[in-house]
A and B are shown apart, each in its own frame.
Chain A
Amino acid sequence: MNWFRGSCAAGLVLIGASAAFGQIDSLVEQAQFVFKGTVLRINAATISEIQPDSRTLVVKVDEVLKNPPVRTNYTGREITVRLGDSTKLQPGSQFVFFTTSWMFGDSIAVREIGRQPDSAALRKQIAEELAKAPDVFVQRRLVGANLVLAGRVSAARAAPDKVRGGPPGEHDPDWWEAEIQVQSVQKGTHTDRTLVILFPNSTDIFWERSPKFRKDQEGIWILRMERAAGRPTSGYYMALQPEDFQPLDQLARIQRLVK
């Protein structure tokens, strides 16, 4: 459970008391929607089909601190919050709520994953974490990568039949090989001048976001030894997530994040 993830380690986070700010980074990262809100009603909901109980509240969104990637402005809206614990909140009380999506209907309902009293220090820390956000996904991929290198694609071709397996199904990755001329290694060890990696050439919904590589493409690859069940793909590095391929002009940034 993500609920107050840091609270177990740092002791109980008491609502209304100072929070352990060391936890805020993970809350900001995990929460899709962070806002300052005022509790309007307890045992209540803004979606009629939700059966209200002691953990459902109607909260007015006073100020959005982290907005989901949507155009809708939720400021001023009354929404339903499902508390992550059994704390009794009083109408009129104000908090910064860290939440994820729960229900979308005529209104919205969110699951709370953290709650803090508002303060200048808290806002400063949230702002700092949000400023780091563009790097978070890349950094997450870098942490688990086996090999990070910069280079140029010298050839792209369908993988050998033994890798591609039998007749393709609808969600088959349609494995292709990309041969990379290695220019520099940023993480891991690779001594050869070339490296052959595997990538899914399929445009099926499962694979359409995975990077596709073509001859003469330049960039930075964040590679893993992925497991592809049912296929003899062991020994291949792969870059399956959109963040696993970065433009070459991001090299300095990648070098900074790798450290």
Chain B
Amino acid sequence: MHNENQSLIFELSKEGRVGYSLPELDVPDYELSDLLPQGFVREEAAELPEVAELDIMRHYTALSRRNHGVDSGFYPLGSCTMKYNPKINETSARLSGFANIHPLQDETTVQGAMELLYELQTSLVEITGMDEVTLQPAAGAHGEWTALMMIRAFHEANGEGHRNKVIVPDSAHGTNPASATVAGFDTITVKSNEDGLVDLDDLRRVVGEDTAALMLTNPNTLGLFEENILEMAEIIHGVGGKVYYDGANLNAVMSKARPGDMGFDCVHLNLHKTFTGPHGGGGPGSGPVGVKADLIPFLPKPVLVKKEDGTFHFDYNRPQSIGRVKPYYGNFGINVRAYTYIRTMGPEGLKAVTEYAVLNANYMMRRLEPYFDLPYNRHCKHEFVLSGRRQKKLGVRTLDIAKRLLDFGYHPPTIYFPLNVEEGMMIEPTETESKETLDAFCEAMIQIAKETEENPSIVQEAPHTTVISRLDETRAARTPVLRYTKVEA
């Protein structure tokens, strides 16, 4: 990375420079005043930059060099599944027949795209063990909310609109309760037991006739498989609730256990995680939802179906549907990438993905166990959570460890999550990393553990090698500056 002062694009602007090449105007021109009534034409131009094409390319190239992606180096960010993003995906999504089709074209002119979506849907039905899948939701959180809206519609259709409680484990990601609220539910938290799994007694205590659903991630955010899943499903179904599977961690169980076989009624997947989206710097994602038969009538509109003559069709005639959750049909470009990935891996490949993801996580966990606290000591799935409480006693916080990892060229793990682990570090290596990479990262972690004992300030003051040191986040929040404003000379 480079240490020079980085300009904003606006600071490179110079009147008279252009970076565009618009078509020639080949129809009669008009004065704006002949086209628009007075007051409709803006008086001050929007202050967009005026720069030449090379300025643009250099600017964004410089920015890219100040950014760490999976292609830059190891990125074991727990629960985010930062695996390699295959390049064939980028090629397939850019094929003109996929990239340059309009969502409102006549169905007969986009059968290829619809076929791809249908094939993807069908594959995801098999992978999740569900009966039907919608590809509409734009991301995981959007999928959660979509599924909860369907659960709500299901209860209302059965005359049980009073079911207004969604149960969420204390280890759950914050999105779960937030999605429940947006869908109009209240959230109840269920505790974890000393093994890091949902406490069945507490679950029995909180369920009741107002239970709408349980939201569960399995393996959970500690990377542990909820062994009592069938019993949990029974408890929820016993009181008439639905069981919802947060598929954020599907990379841990592909070909090993399917949500549909574990008693779940619906599931969302993160195609940008398990199915190599990519992550795009924060998005776009794609968050398909799979459901069991009794929730099918409530799927968002439209539902993609295959007709008897073999053609594909968007079905809007769904009287019990929750309606539309997104304009058009979902993040098609991401769905093309996910489909490309599934076809690249095939059935054997997806099984191997999970096996290596889990092998890698367990290997790292055992290598690091002597140096950091391991609150839950059992086989993990695709990720594991260490605690930095031993280091904290020496004055080094998990945040410091994370910042020190930057000096080694790594993206740190997810930190301070889940909330039920003190000074947590959630590490997810993924299956696409080599043993050499895992070993090198472990060595860095071990060195940091040693530095904590011998020379803690080097950790506390990290990072030392990045383009910028720790940033003043309090100042950012107290006096927010959310846009550039030109300083007049």
Whether chains A and B associate is: no
- B: residues with CB less than 8 A from A are none
